[in-house]
C-alpha cells in the first residue's frame, strides 16, 4: 500500500471516530446515537482533502490529526460566536485548570467584542494590574502576533506562559493618543476571592474579585463577620469582577434574597427556559445595599447585580457592565479534545437580556485616567454618600 493510501485510510478512520458511531443494542433494534445527517454531503470535504494530498509540497506536514482539529475548529468558528470553540487535548486541559486553580500568566480576564480582543478586567494583585492594564483596553498584538481573527482560547494560550518570562502586549486605550507596548513579566497567579472592610462602623464594604470555587466559602465567613458587627448597610463592589461559576453567584445571592426568589433565567433559544432560584436564608434582605459595577463587571457579576436590582430595588452605581451573559457547556470528545458550546443566554429576573447589552447603572459615575493615576475612587465615594442617606 502506498504512503498516500495509508494516510487516506488513517484519515477515514479518524473521520469515523470524530463523528462517533455509538450504538444502543436493544432487544429488537440498533439505534445510532451520533450519526451524520443523511442529507449531509461530504463530497466537497473529500475533494479538498484529495487535492491537498496530491498537490501539497511538504508531505511531512500532512498531519491528519491536525487536519481534523482544524476542520472542527472551522466548523465551530463558522457560527460566529467567539465562545463556541473547539479545544485540542492540550487546550482542554488548560481550560479545565482555570477557574479554581493556580496558573502561570499575567492575571486578567479577556474577551472578544465586535471582533476585537479586549481586557474585561485585570485580577487584583497580579502583574496585569501592576502594569496598569484596565477594563476596556484593546489588545492589538501579543508579542509579534496580531490578535485579528484569534479566538479567545488562542489568545489565552499566547498570553500565558512560564513564570519569569515576559510577554509584550500592544494596547490601545481611548484616552491615549497612540497605542503602547506594555511588557509584563508572567508570574504564578493565585486568584483572590474577596475583601471585607468596615467604614465608619455602620457600613460594610465587601469587594468580590471573582466567583471562584472558594468564593462561596469565603463569602460565608464574611457574612458572619458582618452579622456580628454593628453594620446594617452593605456596599457590594463587583467592579472588575469577570465572573466565574453560576452556582457560586446563585449561592451568594441567597444571602440577600429570600428562598425561592429568581436569581437568573437561562434562555435556550427554543422556547425553553430554566429558572435559578435563591436557596439561601436572605440574611441581608433587610439591609441597605448599594452595588458598584463597571465595564469589567461580567458574567456572574452581572447575574448577581441584576438579581439584587430586580428583586430588591438595589441601586447600581458606576459604569455600564460588560455584557457577558451567555452559558457555555464543555462537551468532551474522543482523544481528550472538546467543544465549548454556547447553549443559552442569561436574563435577569425581570427579563433583561445581558448578552452584548450589559447593565446600565442607576447612577453613573465615571473613573477618569487622572482618577486612576491619583488613586482616587469617585465611584466608591458616591456609593458611600448614597448609602448613608438610605
> Residue 188: beta bridge partners?
104
**Residue among 299, 321, 326, 338 flagged as catalytic:** 299
Strands (E), 176-261: 180-185, 187-189, 194-199, 203-208, 233-237
DSSP single-letter state for residue 314:
P
> Residue 102: beta bridge partners?
none
State the CB neighbour count (10 A cutoff) for residue 39. 5
Residue 311, CA atoms < 13 Å, CB-side half-sphere = 27
218 catalytically annotated: no
Q: Tell me the C-alpha to C-alpha distance, in Å, between residue 267 and each of 194, 252, 345, 351.
A: 30, 22, 5, 10
Task: At 228, list the grid cell.
Answer: 456580628
**Residue among 137, 251, 288, 310 flagged as catalytic:** 310
310 catalytically annotated: yes
Q: Going by DSSP bridges, is the β-strand pair 363-364/315-318 parallel, antiparallel, or unpaired?
A: parallel
Distance CA 123, CA 126 (A): 6
What HEC string does 15-73 produce? HHHHHCCCEEECCCCEEECCCCCCCCCCHHHHHHHHHHHHHCCCHHHCCHHHHHHHHHH
Which residue in 81, 139, 144, 90 sits closest to 110, CA to CA?
139
324 catalytically annotated: yes
Residues 6+ apart with CB under 8 A from 199: 205, 235, 384
Cell 463558522, residue located: 78
Which residue in 57, 49, 41, 48 sits closest to 14, CA to CA?
49
Distance CA 303, CA 265 (A): 9
**Residue among 88, 193, 324, 326 flagged as catalytic:** 324
Helix axes 246-253, 300-312, angle to 10 degrees: 30
Distance CA 325, CA 117 (A): 17
List residues with catalytic annotation: 299, 310, 324
Amino acid at each position: 500500500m502506498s504512503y498516500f493510501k495509508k494516510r487516506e485510510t488513517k484519515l477515514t478512520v479518524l473521520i469515523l471516530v470524530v463523528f462517533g458511531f455509538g450504538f444502543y443494542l436493544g432487544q429488537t433494534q440498533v439505534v445510532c446515537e451520533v450519526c451524520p445527517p443523511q442529507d449531509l454531503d461530504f463530497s466537497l470535504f473529500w475533494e479538498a482533502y484529495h487535492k491537498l494530498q496530491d498537490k501539497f509540497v511538504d508531505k511531512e506536514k500532512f498531519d491528519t490529526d491536525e487536519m481534523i482539529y482544524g476542520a472542527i475548529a472551522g466548523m465551530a468558528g463558522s457560527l460566529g460566536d467567539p465562545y463556541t470553540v473547539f479545544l485540542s487535548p492540550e487546550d482542554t486541559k488548560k481550560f479545565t485548570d482555570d477557574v479554581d486553580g493556580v496558573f502561570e500568566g499575567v492575571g486578567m480576564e479577556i474577551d472578544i467584542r465586535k471582533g476585537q480582543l479586549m481586557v474585561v478586567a485585570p485580577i487584583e494583585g497580579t502583574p496585569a494590574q501592576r502594569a496598569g492594564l484596565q477594563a476596556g483596553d484593546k489588545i492589538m498584538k501579543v508579542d509579534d502576533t496580531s490578535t485579528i481573527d484569534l479566538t479567545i482560547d488562542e489568545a489565552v494560550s499566547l498570553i500565558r506562559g512560564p513564570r519569569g518570562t515576559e510577554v509584550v502586549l500592544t494596547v490601545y486605550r481611548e484616552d491615549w493618543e497612540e497605542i503602547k507596548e506594555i511588557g509584563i513579566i508572567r508570574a504564578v497567579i493565585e486568584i483572590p476571592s474577596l475583601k471585607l472592610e468596615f467604614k465608619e462602623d455602620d457600613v460594610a464594604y465587601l469587594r468580590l474579585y471573582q466567583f471562584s470555587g472558594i468564593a462561596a466559602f469565603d463569602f460565608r465567613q464574611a457574612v458572619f463577620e458582618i452579622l456580628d458587627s454593628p453594620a446594617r448597610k452593605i456596599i457590594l463592589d463587583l467592579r472588575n469582577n469577570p465572573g466565574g461559576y453560576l452556582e457560586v453567584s446563585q449561592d451568594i445571592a441567597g444571602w440577600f434574597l429570600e428562598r425561592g426568589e429568581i436569581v437568573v433565567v437561562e434562555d435556550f433559544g427554543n422556547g425553553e427556559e430554566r429558572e435559578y432560584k435563591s436557596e439561601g436564608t436572605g440574611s441581608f434582605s433587610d439591609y441597605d445595599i448599594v452595588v458598584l459595577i463597571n465595564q469589567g463587571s461580567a458574567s456572574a457579576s452581572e447575574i448577581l447585580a441584576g438579581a439584587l436590582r430586580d428583586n430588591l430595588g438595589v441601586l447600581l452605581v458606576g459604569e455600564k457592565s460588560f455584557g457577558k451573559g451567555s452559558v457555555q457547556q464543555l462537551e468532551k470528545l474522543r482523544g481528550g479534545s472538546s467543544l465549548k458550546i454556547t447553549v443559552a443566554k442569561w436574563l435577569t429576573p425581570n427579563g433583561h437580556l445581558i448578552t452584548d447589552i450589559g447593565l446600565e447603572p442607576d447612577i453613573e459615575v465615571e473613573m477618569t485616567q487622572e482618577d486612576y493615576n491619583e488613586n482616587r475612587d469617585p465611584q466608591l465615594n458616591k456609593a458611600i454618600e448614597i448609602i448613608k442617606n438610605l
